[in-house]
């Protein structure tokens, strides 16, 4: 089966100038990422802030050109697709329902935008499709006539989802879609996304820094660290048997609502990763609680097996 | 146990909005009391009202507002500012709320001690370096000379905690101190707070919307809804035997690995926190509550559900 999304050795380097005369620094935001997402499944992407999740998402959406590597969506090269065709296939839902919606437009016009941008669709069809999309996400026609400022955070995220669905795409890239919401509202949105995926046969790339959320929605999980995927496993396996020390530390730091367990010492120290200064050898070694001889000098190679992928010398 | 902080029947209004509607809570010395609830429930306003830091237009009333036995409700701004940063300190979600971008970490930290305690510059620098070390910052000397924007989010949050501790406060109020941080850094900061509390006997009022954080560090929990404390209990009791439908609803919303099967829907609470006009009667949760009945529009009894466990609800909910 053709993967819904496939990326091959994808990289993105930002050249950042700090001052007029300072030499530019190279920020290796995404540094050689490959994976394939089968249609109908959900790939969760987790990792600390700054590890390159949003940069990866923007490249897959065609919003940011890669420095090198390739993105294929439904078997077609993204770079050879025109914007309208791309929009019919793949759509985003971003974190912030406050800034991603134009405050001066009514909800129904915001949702209609992707359709109108296609150019050749008559007004009656637009109106019908917008009404359908609003209904799908649980918004009333009356709410369609309001402005974003007149809606709650959860309702605004529903508007963003309706806008993503109005072209009936097959793939939705969700970048922290519930991170700005209360747990009560987050639960509503997660339930909605899952229902939509099942009813419409959607494929999701689901980015979140909340591992419990990812565990709930993803069929497979990729763990990113400083621009690379250091572990990828089927969701259940990853949560029961994390293999990379970084994955283990991330999981240990999830505070489940179980009293009496205290706050664990995740053992990562206080060195923060910096994509402008990627350590030699294994990029995780300065923080790794299980660092040993080869880690500081040799880059680990990804070990791939039926169980998934791990990039760690312990797997040698 | 005498309370370090005692708040009785706190009310705050902003014009036509009742933000806090009769909240009571107490923090004992060495205790962590967590205040939890959805955004807009009045958690921040409660903490700002305690510290005397309400925004203009906010009106505060309380039948008691006592800190270490002292009634502070009637203190003027000069007397309050003498307490703040000294015997009671506050940290915020966004460290830049308390850090000034124009001054180095060192000058901001030392200023607190020199203002409140009349310390010399050298004494204050020593104390600042010691505290930076205490909050797990390596190379404190270097950090003292840096500006806030030169630090990562986690480091800034540590600096803010260190700054709050400069004068050895007895009470620390922390408003969502780890909400903006990565889970890995959050764990470090919470361990740090727990350790400081153990060593220094601090009383902590910690505001969060994260029930995972609450479960792991609170001794006591108060659940706030629309300006009221609707349930309050020791932590194990609250999680083991939640009584208020709102508390139960919140707990059901949290995705917990292994608890809800993938593909099964999470519990959720329909609707949003309502805006409450002054003079509102009855239970503010009733429009979102699956158990709502006629009595919920009348006066709501505060029921005892167990030792130290209070619930504001008309139902006698089974365990
Ligand atoms: N347009 C840009 N210019 C320069 N640096 C950028 C740009 N976008 C992202 N970065 C940097 O790339 C790294 C990865 O960022 P991002 O993909 O946003 O991470 P995440 O979404 O995982 O938090 C960060 O160090 C970020 O500062
Ligand atoms: N400065 C202010 N002026 C007017 N209303 C305010 C102000 N600050 C807070 N409020 C209102 O008080 C209520 C409680 O807010 P807040 O304490 O910030 O909630 P929480 O911290 O629980 O998210 C909200 O309805 C909010 O709109
Ligand atoms: Mg991001
Ligand atoms: Mg708040």
CB contact under 8 A, B183 and A257: no
Number of helical H runs and strand E runs in chain B = 10, 13
Which phi-psi region, left, alpha or beta, contains residue A264 (left: φ > 0; alpha: ψ -120 to 50)? beta
CB contact under 8 A, A253 and B187: yes
Instruction: Choose from A47, A154, A183 for mutation: most chain B CBs within 10 A.
Output: A183
For residue B317, pLDDT over 70 is answered with no
Nearest-10 Cα torsion for A63, B184, B240, B199 = -150
For residue B192, the model assigns a pLDDT of 86
CB of B149 within 8 Å of a chain A CB? The answer is no
**Cβ of A277: how many Cβ atoms within 10 Å?**
11
- Find the mean pLDDT for residues A169-196: 94
Interatomic CA distance for residues B147 and B164, integer angstroms: 17
DSSP A15: E
Query: pLDDT digit string (tens) for B172-190?
Result: 999 999 888 888 889 988 9
For ligand 1, atom 26: residue with the closest CA = A50
Two structure tokens written together for B212: 């995972």
Kindly report the average pLDDT of chain A as a whole number: 93
For ligand 1, atom 10: residue with the closest CA = A29
Interatomic CA distance for residues B194 and B202, integer angstroms: 9
Query: pLDDT digit string (tens) for A110-131?
Result: 999 999 999 989 999 999 999 9
Per-window interface: B 267-306 vs A, CB < 8 A:
267-270, 272
Q: Give the closest residue to A150 by CA, choosing from A104, A187, A89.
A: A104
In sequence order, the 6+-apart residues with CB closer than 8 A to the CB of B126 are none
For residue B237, pLDDT over 70 is answered with yes
Q: Report the nearest atom of ligand 2 relative to the CA of B176.
A: 21
For ligand 1, atom 9: residue with the closest CA = A55
User: What are the boundaries of each domain within chain B?
Assistant: 3-87+169-312, 88-168
Q: Which of A239, A264, A265 lies closest to B257 in CB terms?
A: A239
Q: Which of B152, B211, B256 lies closest to A272 in CB terms?
A: B152
For residue B201, pLDDT over 70 is answered with yes
Query: pLDDT digit string (tens) for A145-157?
Result: 999 999 988 999 9
Nearest chain B CA: its distance from A153 CA (Å): 9
Nearest chain B CA: its distance from A215 CA (Å): 6
Instruction: Choose from A186, A216, A250 for mutation: most chain B CBs within 10 A.
Output: A216
Using a CB-CB cut-off of 8 Å, the residues of chain A touching B263 are 194
Two structure tokens written together for A228: 């690379």
Ligand nearest the Cα of residue A224 is: 1
Q: What percent of chain B has pLDDT over 90?
A: 71
Superfamily of domain A5-315: P-loop containing nucleotide triphosphate hydrolases (3.40.50.300)
For residue B318, the model assigns a pLDDT of 52
For ligand 1, atom 17: residue with the closest CA = A52
Instruction: Choose from B150, B182, B247 for mutation: most chain A CBs within 10 A.
Output: B182
Which phi-psi region, left, alpha or beta, contains residue A81 (left: φ > 0; alpha: ψ -120 to 50)? beta
CA B30 to chain CA mean position, Å = 15
For residue B11, the model assigns a pLDDT of 97
For residue B42, the model assigns a pLDDT of 95
CA angle (A64 as vertex; A58, A66 as ends), nearest 5: 105
CB of B38 within 8 Å of a chain A CB? The answer is yes
Fold of B3-87+169-312: Rossmann fold (3.40.50)
Q: If DSSP codes are grouped into helix, strand and coil, which group holds residue B210?
A: coil
DSSP letters along A211-228, please?
HHHHHHH-SEEEEEETTE
For residue B1, pLDDT over 70 is answered with no
Query: Is residue A285 within 8 Å of residue A269, measured between CB atoms?
Result: no
Per-window interface: B 105-134 vs A, CB < 8 A:
none
Q: If DSSP codes are grouped into helix, strand and coil, which group holds residue A56?
A: helix
pTM of the model: 0.92
CB contact under 8 A, A212 and B254: yes
Burial A222-242 (b: 16+ CB within 10 A, else e): bbbbbbbbbbbbbbeebbeeb
Strands B3-14 and B58-61: antiparallel
Query: pLDDT digit string (tens) for B52-103?
Result: 999 999 999 999 999 999 999 999 999 999 999 899 999 988 888 889 999 9
**Starting from the edge strand earliest in sequence, which strands make up the sheet with A25-37, in order?**
A25-37, A5-16, A68-73, A76-77
DSSP B284: T
Q: How confident is the model at residue A244 (pLDDT cuts 50, 70, 90)?
A: very high
Interatomic CA distance for residues A62 and B157, integer angstroms: 36
For ligand 1, atom 12: residue with the closest CA = A29
Instruction: Choose from A182, A185, A247, A287 for mutation: most chain B CBs within 10 A.
Output: A182
Nearest chain B CA: its distance from A291 CA (Å): 18
Q: Give the closest residue to B27 by CA, choosing from B93, B88, B116.
A: B88
Nearest chain A CA: its distance from B291 CA (Å): 18
Nearest chain B CA: its distance from A122 CA (Å): 35
Residue in A closest to B193 by C-alpha: A263
Using a CB-CB cut-off of 8 Å, the residues of chain A touching B153 are 49
Distance B44 CA to ligand 2 centre (A): 7
**Cβ of B57: how many Cβ atoms within 10 Å?**
9
Q: If DSSP codes are grouped into helix, strand and coil, which group holds residue B77?
A: helix
Distance A36 CA to ligand 1 centre (A): 23
Two structure tokens written together for A38: 């089968």
Q: Which of A188, A209, A217 lies closest to B183 in CB terms?
A: A209
Interatomic CA distance for residues B233 and A188, integer angstroms: 27
For residue B230, the model assigns a pLDDT of 98
CB contact under 8 A, B268 and A191: yes
Query: pLDDT digit string (tens) for B270-315?
Result: 888 888 888 899 999 999 999 999 999 999 999 999 999 999 999 9
Two structure tokens written together for B249: 């609803």
For residue B319, pLDDT over 60 is answered with no
CB contact under 8 A, B255 and A212: yes
Q: Which of B184, B253, B267 lies closest to A266 in CB terms?
A: B184
Q: What percent of chain A has pLDDT over 70?
A: 99
Q: What percent of chain A has pLDDT over 90?
A: 85
């Amino acid at each position: 089966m053709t993967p819904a999304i496939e990326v091959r050795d994808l990289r993105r380097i930002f050249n950042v100038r700090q001052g007029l005369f300072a030499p530019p620094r190279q920020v290796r935001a995404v540094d050689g990422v490959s994976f394939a997402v089968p249609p109908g499944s959900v790939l969760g992407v987790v990792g600390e802030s700054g590890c390159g999740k949003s940069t990866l998402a923007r490249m897959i959406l065609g919003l940011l050109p890669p420095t090198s590597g390739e993105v294929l969506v439904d078997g077609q090269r993204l770079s050879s697709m025109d914007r309208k065709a791309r929009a019919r296939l793949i759509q985003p839902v971003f974190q912030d329902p406050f800034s991603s919606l134009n405050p001066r437009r009514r909800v129904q016009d915001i949702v209609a935008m992707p359709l109108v941008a296609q150019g050749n669709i008559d007004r009656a069809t637009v109106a019908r499709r917008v009404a359908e999309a609003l209904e799908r996400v649980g918004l009333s026609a009356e709410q369609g006539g309001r402005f974003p400022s007149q809606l709650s955070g959860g309702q605004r995220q529903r508007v963003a989802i309706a806008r993503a669905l109005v072209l009936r795409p097959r793939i939705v890239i969700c970048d922290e879609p519930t991170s700005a919401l209360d747990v009560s509202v987050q639960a509503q949105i997660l339930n909605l996304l899952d229902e939509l995926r099942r009813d419409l046969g959607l494929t999701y790339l689901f980015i979140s820094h909340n591992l419990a959320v990812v565990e709930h929605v993803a069929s497979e999980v990729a763990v990113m660290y400083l621009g690379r995927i250091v572990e990828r496993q089927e969701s259940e396996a990853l949560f029961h048997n994390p293999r990379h020390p970084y994955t283990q530390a991330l999981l240990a730091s999830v505070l489940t609502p179980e009293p009496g367990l205290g706050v664990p010492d995740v053992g990562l120290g206080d060195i923060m990763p910096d994509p402008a200064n990627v350590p030699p050898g294994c990029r995780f070694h300065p923080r790794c609680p299980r660092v040993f001889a080869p880690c500081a000098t040799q880059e680990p190679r990804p070990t791939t097996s039926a169980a998934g992928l791990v990039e760690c010398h312990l797997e040698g | 146990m005498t309370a370090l902080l005692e708040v009785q029947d706190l009310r705050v209004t902003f014009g036509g909005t009742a933000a806090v509607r009769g909240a009571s809570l107490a923090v004992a010395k060495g205790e962590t009391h967590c205040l939890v609830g959805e955004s807009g429930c009045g958690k921040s306003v409660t903490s700002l009202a305690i510290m005397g830091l309400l925004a203009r237009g906010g009106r505060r009333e309380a039948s008691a507002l006592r800190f270490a036995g002292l009634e502070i409700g009637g203190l003027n701004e000069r007397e309050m500012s003498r307490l703040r940063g000294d015997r009671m300190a506050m940290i915020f979600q966004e460290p830049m709320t308390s850090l000034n971008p124009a001054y180095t970490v060192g000058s901001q930290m030392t200023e607190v001690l020199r203002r409140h305690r009349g310390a010399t510059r050298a004494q204050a620098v020593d104390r600042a370096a010691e505290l930076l070390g205490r909050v797990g910052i390596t190379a404190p000397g270097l950090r003292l000379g840096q500006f806030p924007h030169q630090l990562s989010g986690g480091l800034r949050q540590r600096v803010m905690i260190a700054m709050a501790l400069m004068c050895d406060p007895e009470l620390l109020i922390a408003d969502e101190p780890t909400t903006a941080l990565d889970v890995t850094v959050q764990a470090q900061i919470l361990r740090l707070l727990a350790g400081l509390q153990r060593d220094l006997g601090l009383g902590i009022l910690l505001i969060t919307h994260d029930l995972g954080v609450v479960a792991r560090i609170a001794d006591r929990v108060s659940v706030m809804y629309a300006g009221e404390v609707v349930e309050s209990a020791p932590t194990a009791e609250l999680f083991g035997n939640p009584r208020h439908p709102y508390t139960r609803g919140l707990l059901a919303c949290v995705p917990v690995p292994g608890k809800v099967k993938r593909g099964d829907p999470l519990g959720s609470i329909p609707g949003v926190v309502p805006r409450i006009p002054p003079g509102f009667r009855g239970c503010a949760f009733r429009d979102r509550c699956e158990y709502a009945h006629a009595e919920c529009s009348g006066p709501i009894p505060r029921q005892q559900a167990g030792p130290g466990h209070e619930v504001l609800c008309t139902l006698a909910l089974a365990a």
